[in-house]
Structure 1
Amino acid sequence: MGYELKNVTVTYEHRTALKNISCSIADGKWIAVIGKTGAGKSTFVQLLKGLVDFKGEYRLHNKLITLSGKGQPKDLQEIGYVFQYPEHQFFETSVYKELAFGLKQRGQSEKEIRASISAMLATIGLDETILTLAPFQLSGGQKRRVAIASILLMQPKLLILDEPTAGLDPISKSSILDLLKKWQLETNHTVLFVTHQMQDVAEYADEVIVLHEGEIKAHLTTNQLFLQQAHIVTNAGLKMPEQIQLLQVVEQLLGKKIAVANCKEHTIFNAVKPYLQFRGKINA
């Protein structure tokens, strides 16, 4: 396993944010982290990035990670962290300088930096004409893409996305999640995706970690959670994705289970559509 936690606890003053949690995060997966506000989601991913002190055992590729209080261990530099509003962290005067900053710190030549940035802009769907612009001149979606690109340029093996599409319109949101999913599949790297949007979990995640009151209540495949263990979601105070709610309603009306291959929206809609047509709920 790439990243393993064993009996880990995180405490802030007199409040315990994570309680004796244990889990393993495999390489090459898109893993959603869900839970109500205050469940411990952000603390969980900050722990993995080495941003909070903890008690317990944390292993990265079987190597024990220890926080010394002198900064983040170099081992954790392979973990990229995209904050909820990453564009708020822009500090350079042009998009080029913003993207080049981390590469310069790694000692890349100007030629290497330009080649890396050019390739990354193609990956995230931005034109090179934006490189001379100041970041604040960009649209909301463009800013978010540039912020994400600055992290991807560091070639993280684990990418943490803490509500990465907050504040974006639906089209921009889907576009960014699609490109990140494409990146994850092409690189076979790992994504930890913190979100409140159950639809996005169903569409993009391979696995789901459910947090509730600082404890891990489940770590299952997305299909297992939504199609077989739905009570875990509701017990954590969360709503099911809309397509799962539809499936449940139709199954109740029929009095039987409907076989579905996975929990993605189009799959479930196609599975229930004949029954809805039969009852005159939608047009044929």
Structure 2
Amino acid sequence: MQIIVKNVSYRYDQNGYEKSNWILHQVNVTIPSHSFVSIVGHTGSGKSTLAKLIKGLILPSAGRIDISEQEKSHCNDKANIHNKVGLVFQYPEHQLFEMTVLDDIAFGPKQLGWSMETISEKTEQVTKALGLKRETLNQSPFHLSGGEKRKAALAGVMVMDPEVLILDEPAAGLDPVSRRNLMQLIESWRKTARKTVILITHHMDDALAYSDEIIVMNKGKVLYQLSPNQLFLEHEDELIKMDLDIPDQVKLLNKLNRRLAKSIKVDSLKEEHIFEKIAEYYKKNEVTYDS
């Protein structure tokens, strides 16, 4: 399911006319079906506002959002958008409230009148995808570890089978190992279920590792929508000026290429690939440095 954001602007004070009220300014992005797209930028850049607009929680002050592959779903068709787009806020475990994990996961489907057979089938699918053990389902969600609570809360959104899953800092507060495990589970689910994932994050390593494209926002505007390779190899200086982190392996590669007489060419920015290419370069070339 493709998402097209056309000339969208937004202000929280809909009755005001001060320039400072505008949160988004003439945003244009296209998110292809079945893709993984990250949105990065500092607090106040408009990332979360754009997510709420795509979800249909708020409506644009100007412009439109089209969501569908065959039929266009206009921005004022909230019911249609809600059924297609799932949104997981930061610290989703704070929204857990039922007595058991299973009851929490099943809450949304029950409100929509799903049959118990369908709920059971979908629950089994998402809990397996997220690595939640069967015995966990009958436990109180409040007795789980932080990572398990996060998975349970995610399952409550994913069980609704959204075509698009928006994740607003899904790994916030998790240790590096738990964060990596959670992101890998989400990516595996996306590929298997052929879904679209939109990741809002300040972890540039995650944006690099999983994204087909990265959208960079600053002061309510979209500066770039590029592949990770294009963004980090061609716009490092601009990202640094915005105080956005550059993954360590990219900093190493770019620093070497500024000093080497002949640049090291890479097809991927994953650590193992970059280190392999650096090793190959040093073996095949007599390395000289510019003064």
Q: TM-score, normalization: structure 2?
A: 0.88
SS in 2 for 1:248: helix
Conserved in 1, the CA contact under 8 Å of 2:264 and 2:281?
no
The answer for the alignment partner of 1:182 in structure 2 is 188
Measure, in 1, the Cα distance between the counterparts of 2:262 and 2:244. Answer: 24
Q: 1:27 is matched by which residue type in structure 2?
A: S
| 2:34 aligned with 1:28 | yes
The answer for the alignment partner of 2:9 in structure 1 is 9
| 2:271 aligned with 1:265 | yes
Conserved in 1, the CA contact under 8 Å of 2:73 and 2:81?
no
CA shift, 1:119, in A, is: 2.8
Higher deviation after alignment, 212-221 or 49-58: 49-58
Measure, in 2, the Cα distance between the counterparts of 1:132 and 1:46. Answer: 32
SS in 1 for 2:10: strand
Higher deviation after alignment, 85-94 or 54-63: 54-63
Question: Structure 2: any 5+ residue segments left out of the alignment?
Answer: 14-19, 287-291
Q: 2:74 is matched by which residue type in structure 1?
A: I
Q: 2:64 is matched by which residue type in structure 1?
A: E
Aligned residue runs from structure 1 range 165-244, under 5 A: 165-244=171-250
User: C-alpha root-mean-square deviation of aligned residues, in Å?
Assistant: 2.0
Q: 1:7 is matched by which residue type in structure 2?
A: N
The answer for the alignment partner of 1:59 in structure 2 is 66
| 2:154 aligned with 1:145 | no
Measure, in 1, the Cα distance between the counterparts of 2:28 and 2:274. Answer: 33
CA shift, 1:265, in A, is: 1.7
The answer for the alignment partner of 1:252 in structure 2 is 258
CA shift, 1:108, in A, is: 2.4
Q: 2:9 is matched by which residue type in structure 1?
A: T
Give the fraction of aligned pairs with identical amino acids, expressed as a percent: 37
Q: 1:29 is matched by which residue type in structure 2?
A: S
Conserved in 2, the CA contact under 8 Å of 1:227 and 1:263?
no
Measure, in 1, the Cα distance between the counterparts of 2:118 and 2:67. Answer: 29
- The aligned length equals 276
1:63-93 C-alpha deviation (Å, 9 max, x unpaired): 252438xxx3333321011111101011111
Q: 1:253 is matched by which residue type in structure 2?
A: R
